[in-house]
């Protein structure tokens, strides 16, 4: 290894590579313990969690340090691996380590014998996935980036296909791989533009190129297209609600909590680091795509009746909000408004970090419910808080964070995002001054619908009466599953209660990308979070938490004082009709019906209506994605027709192939002669 920027006794990049090698080694050990579930679950996955914590600690310790670079003698001749550890890489390594620590602990107690792929092979795929993700964020040339990017895509494909015997899962895996490779083509073309015909594909060379506005715009659009396919941006989102439910829950947690963020890392790296030109309409385009994606995702999540599909559409919504924040930061940066660009970028990164933890927590809790009940349909669940309290209470924290309620991390992220959209009166364009604050109202609508969805998710699963008799036999999460969920829940709480400290971790990233940050201004206000000035807006999570605790404390003391601690259990109010049962409580379909009616033009609905001759009348509504029928199916039919026409060339006769060669040779000679 050579080429480090500065000598030191503690080289962070060396240790990061050690974690990557350790992950790969754990995966290889899994192959040797192919069907030994106890060894894989009790030793290998906990060891993986330890190295995840080590990676998070390394990233935190390297935050704010000078960039470290290295050249590894790997790859092809004259194409070694260039690596770089800077503030942006450290932030994402911290996210990868923190989330994967909780997910690995949960996975140690999740897997059972006889579930699809052998546990040792799952261990290999899982840890190759982790290692490739970590390598993506420290890659410093297009060659190594594409190698580890494709490694990440293939390993995640095999994770999605863990239960490959089910046809629907095979279809979901095929769709995911198809969209992933379409996106990879966009990324490859983007790097081709960024190297500006120099033949040098290192990121250091790309940073030196000053592209014209046209070619800079081409590179930006290709980056948004390529990385947006992996992030689930419209209209390349179709794989996400199919692949997330197909994958086992720990892998769904990593895909939603980490892999989608790596796609956003690519947009950040290209837009704010490799491209030296920034144009205002880039930000507007990214904001428009982000907000359209967010609205689409949240509306579809409100009407879902399957747990993991609901969370998948919720991830689409959150990725859209993050892209909106990145677009606003690009807009401010294009006009030289560095302080506001730092505010918008901080809001997007805070949302990115918070979503990584609470969405991973929700996917893990969904997996625990699925294992305990065998059901993934919301219509067959209910009342599980009585039988699964260790799952219910961490899930409640994740639900509150996802709904954007204080004092958790989701609220801080959305509050900062709203503040950044409201501080836009200084833009030189009067049209943008009018438009951007209006978009804040759209963000508020999206946040409200997200809260609505989370009420449905938690209420239908854990509250009310069980809708099936077998739910009374549901078992709570095991020890390792509890540890993983508690780690993720605690992270959600920390992100909500200590926003100033989190912003100090984000500050080196904003300093690197937009040459400004919030850490100094925030530190001057002590325990108050003040994004711009205390006269405009401030937030005190500690005061809010103390107010909540004081309210509960006063209520407890009043009950003890007035009622002497007496406890009286009565049935809930039944509206004067005492013969209620589980079928009379609100269902997932009924809960989402108002939203379905309001946003009906956005859906493609298939209704099954009862007839007078039905022995068992049944009414059902199936909500489908209209883009699947308007965009994906027509393209698939066109490709199929073209394939049939091209297939006519393959006759299976050597004489015909010789004729093709002869005609091609004559045509080339005629063209060259002219």
Q: At 619, is the pLDDT very low, low, confident or very high (cuts 50, 70, 90)? A: low
Query: Would you say residue 283 has pLDDT above 60?
Result: yes
What does the pLDDT average to over 31-55? 87
Residue whose C-alpha is closest to residue 512's, from 16, 65, 61, 59: 65
**pTM of the predicted structure, to 2 decimals:** 0.89
Q: Which CB contacts under 8 angstroms, 24+ apart, belong to 575-581?
A: 581/465
- Cα-based distances in Å from 17 to 149, 201, 658: 17, 22, 53
Provide the CB-side half-sphere exposure for 618 (13 A, CA): 6
Percent of the chain topping pLDDT 70 = 91
Token pair for 634: 């027509």
pLDDT at residue 319, as a whole number:
93
pLDDT at residue 659, as a whole number:
82
CA dihedral sign of residues 359, 368, 126, 170: negative
* Residue-level length of the chain: 674
Question: Is the Cβ–Cβ distance between 414 and 447 less than 8 Å?
Answer: yes
Report residue 59 CA to chain centroid gap. 20
Most confident option among 103-107, 114-118, 587-591: 103-107
Query: Would you say residue 8 has pLDDT above 70?
Result: no
The neighbouring-strand residues paired with 69 are 84
pLDDT digits (tens, 9 = 90+) for 361-403: 999 999 888 888 888 888 788 888 888 889 989 999 999 999 8
pLDDT digits (tens, 9 = 90+) for 498-556: 888 888 899 999 988 988 888 787 777 767 777 766 666 677 777 777 877 888 888 77
pLDDT at residue 484, as a whole number:
92
Query: Would you say residue 54 has pLDDT above 90?
Result: yes
Say if residue 407 is preceded by a cis peptide, omega within 30 of 0. Answer: yes
**Phi, psi at 539, each rounded to 5°:** -145, 135
Find the Cα–Cα–Cα–Cα dihedral 134, 138, 143, 145, rounded to 10°. Answer: 40
Q: At 424, is the pLDDT very low, low, confident or very high (cuts 50, 70, 90)? A: low
- Average pLDDT across the chain, whole number: 84
What does the pLDDT average to over 226-251? 88
Query: Would you say residue 610 has pLDDT above 70?
Result: no
pLDDT at residue 646, as a whole number:
77
Q: State how far the Cα of 263 lies from the Cα of 149, in Å rounded to an integer.
A: 10
**Phi, psi at 69, each rounded to 5°:** -125, 155
What does the pLDDT average to over 261-276? 91
- If DSSP codes are grouped into helix, strand and coil, which group holds residue 221? helix
pLDDT at residue 2, as a whole number:
42
Q: State how far the Cα of 608 lies from the Cα of 620, in Å rounded to an integer.
A: 5
Q: At 611, is the pLDDT very low, low, confident or very high (cuts 50, 70, 90)? A: low
What does the pLDDT average to over 627-645? 82
Provide the CB-side half-sphere exposure for 453 (13 A, CA): 35
- If DSSP codes are grouped into helix, strand and coil, which group holds residue 69? strand
**Phi, psi at 335, each rounded to 5°:** -95, 10
pLDDT at residue 431, as a whole number:
78
CA dihedral sign of residues 395, 400, 403, 404: negative
Most confident option among 484-498, 516-530, 569-583: 484-498
Q: At 116, is the pLDDT very low, low, confident or very high (cuts 50, 70, 90)? A: low
Query: Would you say residue 661 has pLDDT above 50?
Result: yes
Residue in the structure block whose two tokens are 């619908």: 449
**Phi, psi at 83, each rounded to 5°:** -125, 150
The neighbouring-strand residues paired with 605 are 623
pLDDT at residue 99, as a whole number:
93
Got the DSSP string for 147-158?
Answer: HHHHHHHHHHHH
CA dihedral sign of residues 436, 438, 440, 443: negative
Residue in the structure block whose two tokens are 């063209």: 671
Q: State how far the Cα of 27 lies from the Cα of 21, in Å rounded to an integer.
A: 10
**Who has greater pLDDT, 459 or 649?**
459
């Amino acid at each position: 290894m050579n080429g480090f920027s500065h000598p030191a006794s503690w080289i962070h990049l060396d240790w990061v590579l050690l974690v990557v090698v350790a992950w790969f080694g754990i995966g290889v050990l899994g192959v040797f313990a192919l069907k030994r579930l106890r060894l894989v679950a009790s030793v290998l996955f906990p060891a993986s969690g330890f190295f995840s914590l080590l990676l998070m600690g390394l990233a935190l310790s390297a935050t704010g340090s000078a960039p470290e670079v290295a050249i590894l003698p790997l790859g092809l001749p004259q194409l070694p691996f260039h690596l770089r550890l800077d503030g942006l890489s450290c932030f994402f390594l911290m996210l990868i380590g923190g989330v994967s620590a909780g997910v690995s602990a949960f996975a140690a107690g999740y897997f059972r014998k006889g579930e699809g792929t052998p546990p040792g092979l799952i261990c290999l795929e899982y840890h190759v996935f982790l290692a490739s993700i970590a390598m993506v964020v420290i890659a410093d040339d297009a060659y190594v980036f594409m190698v580890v990017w494709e490694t990440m895509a293939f390993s995640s494909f095999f994770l999605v296909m863990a239960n490959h015997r089910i046809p629907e899962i095979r279809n979901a895996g095929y769709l995911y791989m198809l969209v992933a490779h379409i996106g990879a083509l966009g990324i490859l073309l983007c790097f081709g533009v960024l190297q500006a015909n120099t033949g040098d594909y290192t990121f250091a060379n790309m940073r030196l190129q000053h592209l014209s506005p046209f070619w800079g715009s081409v590179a930006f659009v290709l980056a948004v297209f390529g990385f947006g396919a992996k992030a689930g941006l419209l209209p390349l989102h179709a794989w996400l609600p199919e692949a997330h439910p197909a994958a086992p829950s720990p892998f769904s947690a990593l895909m939603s909590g980490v892999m989608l963020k790596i796609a956003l890392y690519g947009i950040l790296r290209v837009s704010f680091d490799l491209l030296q030109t920034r144009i205002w309409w880039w930000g507007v385009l990214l904001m428009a795509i982000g907000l359209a994606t967010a609205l689409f995702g949240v509306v579809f999540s409100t009407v879902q009746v399957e747990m993991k599909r609901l969370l998948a559409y919720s991830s689409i919504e959150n990725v859209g909000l993050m892209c909106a924040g990145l677009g606003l930061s690009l807009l401010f940066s294009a006009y030289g408004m560095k302080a506001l660009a730092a505010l918008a970028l901080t809001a997007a990164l805070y949302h990115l970090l918070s979503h990584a933890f609470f969405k991973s927590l929700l996917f893990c809790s969904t997996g625990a419910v699925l294992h305990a009940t065998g059901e993934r349909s919301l219509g067959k669940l209910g009342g599980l808080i009585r039988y699964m309290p260790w799952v219910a209470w961490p899930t409640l924290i994740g639900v509150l964070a996802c709904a954007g309620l204080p004092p958790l991390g989701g609220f801080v992220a959305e509050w900062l995002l709203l503040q950044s959209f409201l501080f836009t009166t200084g833009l030189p364009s009067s049209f943008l001054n009018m438009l951007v604050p209006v978009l804040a109202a759209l963000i508020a609508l999206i946040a409200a619908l997200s809260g609505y969805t989370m009420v449905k998710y938690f209420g239908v699963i854990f509250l009310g009466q069980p809708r099936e008799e077998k739910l009374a036999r549901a078992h709570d999460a095991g020890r390792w599953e509890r540890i993983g969920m508690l780690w993720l829940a605690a992270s959600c709480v920390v992100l909500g209660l200590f926003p100033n400290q989190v912003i100090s971790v984000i500050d080196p990233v904003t300093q690197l990308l937009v040459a400004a940050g919030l850490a100094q201004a925030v530190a001057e206000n002590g325990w108050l979070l003040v994004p711009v000035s205390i006269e405009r807006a401030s937030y005190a999570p500690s005061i809010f938490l103390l107010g909540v605790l004081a309210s509960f404390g006063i209520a407890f003391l009043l009950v003890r004082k007035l009622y002497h601690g007496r406890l009286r259990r009565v049935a809930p109010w039944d509206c004067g009709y005492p013969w209620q049962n589980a079928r009379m409580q609100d269902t997932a379909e009924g809960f989402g019906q108002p939203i379905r009616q309001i946003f009906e033009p956005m859906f493609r609905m298939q209704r099954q209506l009862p007839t007078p001759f039905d022995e068992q009348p049944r009414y059902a509504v199936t909500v489908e994605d209209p883009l699947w029928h308007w965009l994906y199916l027509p393209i698939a039919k066109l490709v199929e027709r073209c394939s049939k026409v091209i297939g006519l060339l393959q006759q299976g006769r050597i004489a015909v192939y010789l004729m093709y060669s002869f005609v091609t040779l004559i045509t080339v000679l005629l063209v060259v002669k002219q």
